C-alpha cells in the first residue's frame, strides 16, 4: 500500500513574528483533510526563536518535515528546494503569516480531482490586519479563459491560496530562480501555454496585510519585475511595444510609481493599437481583454481628469472598439469626486 501523502504543503520562513507563525502552522495542522506532509523551510540561519518553535511543533506532529538552509538563499530557491523534497501529487502554498481556513485543503483537493484539466487552483481571501481583524476581501475570477487573458495585466491567482499539481506531462513544476520577486506570476505565464487555471469562489485563507512584508519593502523593484513579465507575455504573442507605449502600459497597470502623465487621446490610440495586435492571435479572447482595458482606462481617467473630459474620452474609446462597458462608465460618474486637474489638459 502506497503510504505517500496525496498533498505536500510548502511554507518558507524568514523573520515572521512568532505569534503569526504559530497561527499559520496551527491552521495547517487543524485542516479537516489530514493526509498531507508539511514541508517548512527556514531561510534565516541566524534566527533562533522561530527555529525553536518549529522544532517543538515538529516533535508533536509527524507530518512536519523541517529543513533549515545553511545560508540565506531567498524565497524562490527555497521554494524550489521544498518542491524537490515534496512527495505529494498536489502542492499547496502557504505563507508563514497567513491563516488557512479549516476546509481549504479538502475543497481544493476535491476540485482538482473533479477537474482534471485544471493544473492550478486558487481561492478568494479575507484580508486581516496585524491584530487578526478582518479589514477586507480579495476576490478573483474563476473562469480559466478569463484568468489566462488577465495574465497580460496581473497575476490572476493569489499565490498563498494556490494548490497545484506537482508534475505537468511528467515534468516537475519549478519556479524560475532568476526571479527574486513575482516568481509566481512568472510561473503562471510560463505554464499558460499548456495549463489551465481556476479559482474557487470561496474564502479559504486569511491574508495578513502588514508593512513588514517583502512586497511592502521592495514595492518598486517588485513592480519592475512584474512589468517585465507583462512585456514578455505580450511579446510571446508577437506584440512589441515602443518605449513610450511601455510607459503608458505601466501607468495603466500601476506597475510604476511617479509616472509621467499622458493625454487620454494618446492612451486611447495606444489601446486601440494594442487591441488590434491582440486580435491577430486566435488563441486570445480579445473580448475579455478589451473589457479589462476599458476598465483600466476608466480608472486612469478617474484619477486624472474632470468628469466631462473623462466621460467623453471613455465613450469615444468604447465606441472605437465596439464595446460599451456599463460598469466602467458608471464608475466614472460614481467616483467623480476623486478627479482633479493634472498637467495643462
pLDDT tens, residue order, the chain (345 aa): 458 899 999 999 999 999 999 999 999 999 999 999 999 999 999 999 999 999 999 999 999 999 999 999 999 999 999 999 999 999 999 999 999 999 999 999 999 999 999 999 999 999 999 899 999 999 999 999 999 999 999 999 999 999 999 988 778 899 999 999 999 999 999 999 889 999 999 999 999 987 655 555 577 888 899 999 999 999 998 899 999 999 999 888 876 655 567 888 888 889 988 888 888 887 788 888 888 888 888 888 877 776 666 777 777 777 777 766 666 666 655 554 433 333 333
Supply the pTM of this predicted model.
0.88
Q: How many angstroms separate the CA atoms of 237 and 282, rounded?
A: 10
Q: What is the DSSP letter of 86?
A: -
* Sign of the dihedral defined by the CA atoms of residues 191, 139, 107, 226, in that order: positive
* Three-state SS at 171: strand
Residue with cell 540561519: 45
Nearby residues of 313 by Cβ (< 8 Å), 6 or more positions away:
264, 265, 268, 301, 305
Mutual orientation of helices 49-60 and 18-29 as an angle, nearest 10°? Answer: 20
Q: Which residues pair with 163 in a beta bridge?
A: 92, 121
pLDDT recorded at residue 341:
32
Name the nearest CA neighbour of 154 among 128, 129, 186. 186
pLDDT recorded at residue 337:
43
Which helix or strand (DSSP H or E) is residue 108 part of? Answer: helix 104-114
Amino acid at each position: 500500500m502506497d503510504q505517500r501523502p496525496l498533498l505536500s504543503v510548502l511554507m518558507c520562513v524568514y523573520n515572521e513574528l512568532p505569534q503569526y507563525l504559530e497561527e499559520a502552522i496551527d491552521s495547517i495542522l487543524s485542516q479537516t483533510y489530514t493526509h498531507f506532509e508539511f514541508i517548512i523551510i527556514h531561510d534565516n540561519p541566524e534566527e533562533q526563536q522561530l527555529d525553536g518553535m518549529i522544532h517543538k511543533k515538529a516533535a508533536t506532529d509527524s507530518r512536519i518535515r523541517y529543513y533549515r538552509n545553511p545560508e540565506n538563499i531567498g524565497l524562490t530557491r527555497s521554494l524550489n528546494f521544498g518542491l524537490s523534497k515534496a512527495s505529494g501529487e498536489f502542492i499547496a502554498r502557504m505563507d508563514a503569516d497567513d491563516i488557512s481556513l479549516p476546509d481549504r485543503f479538502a475543497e481544493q483537493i476535491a476540485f482538482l480531482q473533479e477537474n482534471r484539466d485544471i493544473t492550478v487552483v486558487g481561492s478568494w481571501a479575507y484580508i486581516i490586519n496585524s491584530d487578526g481583524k478582518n479589514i477586507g476581501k480579495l476576490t478573483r475570477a474563476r473562469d480559466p479563459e478569463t484568468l489566462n487573458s488577465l495574465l497580460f495585466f496581473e497575476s490572476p491567482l493569489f499565490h498563498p491560496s494556490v494548490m497545484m499539481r506537482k508534475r505537468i506531462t511528467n515534468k516537475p513544476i519549478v519556479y524560475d530562480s532568476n526571479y527574486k520577486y513575482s516568481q509566481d506570476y512568472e510561473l503562471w505565464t510560463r505554464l499558460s501555454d499548456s495549463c489551465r487555471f481556476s479559482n474557487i469562489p470561496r474564502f479559504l485563507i486569511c491574508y495578513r496585510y502588514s508593512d513588514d512584508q517583502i512586497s511592502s519593502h521592495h514595492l518598486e523593484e517588485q513592480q519592475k519585475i512584474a512589468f517585465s513579465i507583462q512585456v514578455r507575455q505580450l511579446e510571446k504573442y508577437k506584440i512589441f511595444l515602443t518605449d513610450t507605449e511601455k510607459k503608458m502600459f505601466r501607468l495603466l497597470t500601476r506597475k510604476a510609481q511617479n509616472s509621467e502623465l499622458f493625454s487620454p487621446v494618446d492612451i486611447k490610440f495606444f489601446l486601440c493599437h494594442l487591441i488590434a495586435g491582440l486580435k491577430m492571435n486566435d488563441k486570445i479572447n480579445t473580448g475579455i481583454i478589451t473589457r479589462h482595458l476599458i476598465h483600466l482606462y476608466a480608472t486612469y481617467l478617474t484619477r486624472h481628469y474632470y468628469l466631462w473630459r473623462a466621460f467623453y474620452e471613455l465613450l469615444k474609446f468604447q465606441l472605437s472598439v465596439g464595446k460599451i462597458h456599463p460598469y466602467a462608465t458608471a464608475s466614472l460618474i460614481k467616483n467623480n469626486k476623486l478627479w482633479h486637474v493634472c498637467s495643462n489638459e
